[in-house]
Amino acid sequence: MRRVGLIAFLALVAMIPLSPPFYVTMGSYIGLYTMVALGLVLLTGVTGLTSFGQAAFMGLGAYTSAVLTTTLSWSPWLALVIALLLTIGVALVLGAVTLRMGGHYLPLATMSWGISLFFLFGSLPELGGQTGLSDIPALAIAGVELRDERIYYYLIWLVCLAAMWGTVNLLDSREGRAIRALKGGLHMAEAFGASGLRLKMVVFVYSAVLGCLAGWLYAHMQRFVNPSPFGINVGIEFLFMITIGGAGSIWGSVIGATLVSFLKTALQGILPKIIGHTGNFETIIFGIMILMVLQWMRGGIWVFVERFLPPKPNKDVGEASDLPVRTQPRRGEPLLRVDGIRKEFGGLVAVKNVSFEVAAGEIVGLIGPNGAGKSTTFNLISGELPRTDGNVYLGAEKISGLRPSRIARRGLSRTFQHVKLIPGMTVIENVMLGAYLRTNEGFFSAGFRLNRTMEKRVAAEAARQLKRVGLEESMHVPAGSLPLGKQRIVEIARALCSDPILLLLDEPAAGLRYKEKQELARLLEQLRSEGMTVLIVEHDMEFLMNLVDRIVVMEFGKKLAEGLPHEIRSNPEVLEAYLGGV
């Protein structure tokens, strides 16, 4: 069914030039807007970075080519290269400034530079001011000018379809899985070795390049440019497109661009006749549409349509995994040393000079009542929080002060107190994220589909880890459809897929039923028998008593006691502060 739909879509795209000129022109605009919206799908829908400035990047591509071909008489193809390089440079500078921002500051920053570029286009005499630039030469291939709008339509859609194909390939790759993890925050992607800021920058530049390509094609199609198509209002329209079509979907960009383009043209002709006045009344209709979509089809039209389509075919799983394997430390060797770590939040001291050690092959429990500082200590070890004082050593190397992604490269892998999975991805795809550091396939190999062999090897490794934890039968279901207990097991499988030397589990039994806790305990005992070193942060004392080798107890940010399980059970201070006489 999906394949039939794709063939029908390609056939429709190919047949549009047989229609009257109005539909050919409209089809060309839809192809251009789809390219820009495609970048926004990746940037906003997938990565979670709202941007109002995509129209400005489109203008940057259009104006660069217009100036170079009219003023300097350069070839449009050479102008394209210059436009792409300039856009990449501008995107790197703007991204370095804005992508470190969070919350509402990021979209406000994109508004500011989007508006600035728009006014720059209209203020410089060299760019023609508000009048713009005309007499832009037509594109030519092998000396033949592409003046026929039908032929130019095919060029636009050839570029657009190539961009869609490359984006699909990118999302179904090592880097794509890490990009999809960013929407839930940096912590999940960085816990497996990906640099969150680098991934954000790449996506930002990629979306800018798509905007530049669309602007270049637009300039040589219209053969005239002025600032009006590149203002902040057009940037908002691009956000309308992906919101209506589906912000997290490649096909959402096509649906959104098509609907908004046709509706805008139709409403601009109909509404003034009904109302009796001219104006941008179509924007009001778009606003109402977005409210309706957010109310009844929150994921956009494509998500609604996809419910009626057959499921996607399962990912190919290789027969064997031969990914690189770490040399595990010998059992009993000192592996983790926490030396007087301290964390202050203003005047509050959350962790007070805590020290303890974990030897290779041990399971050590870090316990304490709620608010004892367990998870804060855990996050100091994994690098998620910067320490105020003290140090953490993994083997002989000091890891305190390093980013979580760099700590992950040294063999520390973790789960999270609140489950962090990508709900829309299958279980096996979530687990494949854990193998990020065990391969080095980049964006270009992914985009051109040169990574298929490696992807099968990674899938085989993920399947092996799922079998190891007893979830091989669920590998092809969406991770978000699993009950909480199994989601926590998926997190452990993902952490194991990174081939760690130290596994950190943050309250893995929280929210689990009794039988689920028993299954988790059996899994951890199995990992211990295989030589895995585990540090568990937990508040369920009974869960840990028959499982761990040693226990470290915390209270009010301090280490209260440390010892064997039976020693902790009978420790008077622990009984008073934590166990309540149990």
pLDDT per position as a tens digit, 34-91? 999 999 999 999 998 989 999 999 999 999 999 999 999 999 999 999 999 999 999 9
Work out the average pLDDT over 312-319. Answer: 79
Confidence tier at 135 by pLDDT (50, 70, 90): very high
- pLDDT score for 502: 95
Strands (E), 472-515: 502-506
Lowest-confidence segment of 101-105, 335-339, 409-413, 421-425 by average pLDDT? 101-105
- pLDDT score for 579: 53
**CA torsion sign, 480 to 482 to 486 to 489?**
negative
Work out the average pLDDT over 505-531. Answer: 87
Work out the average pLDDT over 492-505. Answer: 94
Work out the average pLDDT over 131-141. Answer: 92
Work out the average pLDDT over 347-368. Answer: 92
- Number of Cβ within a 10 Å radius of residue 263: 17
Between CA 60 and CA 93 the distance in angstroms is 14
- pLDDT score for 542: 81
Work out the average pLDDT over 286-307. Answer: 82
Residue 216, pLDDT > 60, answer yes
- pLDDT score for 280: 72
Residue 152, pLDDT > 80, answer yes
Confidence tier at 149 by pLDDT (50, 70, 90): very high
The amino acid sitting at 224 is F
Confidence tier at 580 by pLDDT (50, 70, 90): low
Closest to 220 measured CA to CA, from 99, 135, 117, 294: 135
- Number of Cβ within a 10 Å radius of residue 118: 23
- pLDDT score for 544: 86
Residue 382, pLDDT > 60, answer yes
Between CA 366 and CA 373 the distance in angstroms is 10
Work out the average pLDDT over 143-156. Answer: 90
Q: What tens digit of pLDDT does each residue of 521-573 get?
A: 888 999 888 889 999 998 777 888 888 999 998 888 999 989 998 888 888 88
Confidence tier at 1 by pLDDT (50, 70, 90): low
Mean residue pLDDT across the chain = 90
Between CA 191 and CA 205 the distance in angstroms is 24
Between CA 70 and CA 86 the distance in angstroms is 18
Structure tokens that stand for 134 in this block = 């005309």
Between CA 524 and CA 508 the distance in angstroms is 11
CB 159 within 8 A of CB 96: no
Non-local CB neighbours of 147 within 8 Å, separated by 6+ positions: 138
Closest to 216 measured CA to CA, from 44, 74, 114, 99: 74
Q: Read off φ and ψ for residue 432, nearest 5 degrees.
A: -60, -25
Confidence tier at 582 by pLDDT (50, 70, 90): very low
Confidence tier at 151 by pLDDT (50, 70, 90): very high
CB 400 within 8 A of CB 390: yes
Between CA 401 and CA 201 the distance in angstroms is 23
- pLDDT score for 397: 93
**CA torsion sign, 400 to 404 to 406 to 407?**
positive
Q: What tens digit of pLDDT does each residue of 411-442 get?
A: 999 999 889 999 989 999 999 999 999 998 88
Residue 487, pLDDT > 80, answer yes
Confidence tier at 361 by pLDDT (50, 70, 90): very high
Q: Provide the residue ranges of all domains of the chain, joining segments of one domain with +.
A: 25-232, 334-411+539-582
Closest to 491 measured CA to CA, from 544, 422, 405: 422
Give the distance, in angstroms, between the CA of residue 464 and the centroid of all CA atoms in the same chain: 25
Non-local CB neighbours of 135 within 8 Å, separated by 6+ positions: 70, 223, 224
- pLDDT score for 581: 45
Q: What is the CATH number of domain 334-411+539-582?
A: 3.40.50.300
Work out the average pLDDT over 156-170. Answer: 96
- pLDDT score for 429: 94
Q: What tens digit of pLDDT does each residue of 385-395 get?
A: 999 999 999 99
Task: Name the strands in the sheet holding 389-394, side by side, starting at the edge strand that comes first in the sequence.
Answer: 348-359, 334-345, 389-394, 397-398
**3-state secondary structure (DSSP) of residue 125:** helix
**3-state secondary structure (DSSP) of residue 338:** strand
Q: What tens digit of pLDDT does each residue of 242-268 get?
A: 999 998 899 999 999 999 998 888 877
Between CA 334 and CA 359 the distance in angstroms is 4
**Burial (CB count <10 Å: 0-12, 13-18, 19+), residue 89:** exposed
Question: Max Cα separation, the chain?
Answer: 91
pTM score: 0.91
Closest to 432 measured CA to CA, from 538, 317, 564: 317
